[in-house]
Structure 1
Amino acid sequence: MRRQPDLIRELLLRLEGLDIGSGQRVHIGSHEPELMIEGYSTDQVDYHMALLYEAELITSGDTQNMMMNGDWIFQRLTVQGHDFVTACATRRSGRRRALASRKSADGPSAF
């Protein structure tokens, strides 16, 4: 299976947005709305969740189990995970600024 950078970014953004308290863990499956991402299968989501754990971008808060009974155990993004999300946002805003400056340099649009 190929690694999908857009899926990795979207999973991190969704996990970061979960409303869980400090130190708490949630069990979440790739079949649940929070992890269902249009255009990607549950197998792809599961594969990429495993990559997030391997890269230490997220943690389950448990040294042994990251998956139990088909659900992922998620506690929080790690420092590296937050840094990855910030880097993605910085790159996106930089692209938007560059596009906006090119549009303004070209003059008003007829559309």
Structure 2
Amino acid sequence: MRLKIAVIGLASMALFYCQPNEKLSSGKEIYKKYCVSCHGIDGKLLTNGALDLSLSRISLDERKKIITHGRVNMVGFENVLSSAQIDSVATFTQTLIIDQGE
């Protein structure tokens, strides 16, 4: 029953958050609109199975692929964001990485 509720919740979030928006241009704006609910403002929220972006070491190209096509519970944004917007938000997510030496 809980799994069914979680799946319905994720589907509802996807419909709400995945509305095309060509007006957003900065990676930060796009991240705030589409990513904060699961990843949090600092990348550490971990909601709905989201990974901690502050610890991520994946390449920029891999980030673009995940944003475009999705991964595990994350929906893809290929029908929501333009290629330039995906590039912008992928680049922004790299600013969330913390230095492991801290």
With the length of structure 2 as denominator, give the TM-score of the two structures: 0.30
Structure scoring higher RCO (CA < 8 A, sep ≥ 6) equals: 2
Q: Of Structure 1 and Structure 2, which has the larger fraction of its residues in strand?
A: 1
With the length of structure 1 as denominator, give the TM-score of the two structures: 0.29
Bigger radius of gyration: 1
Q: Of Structure 1 and Structure 2, which has the larger fraction of its residues in helix?
A: 2
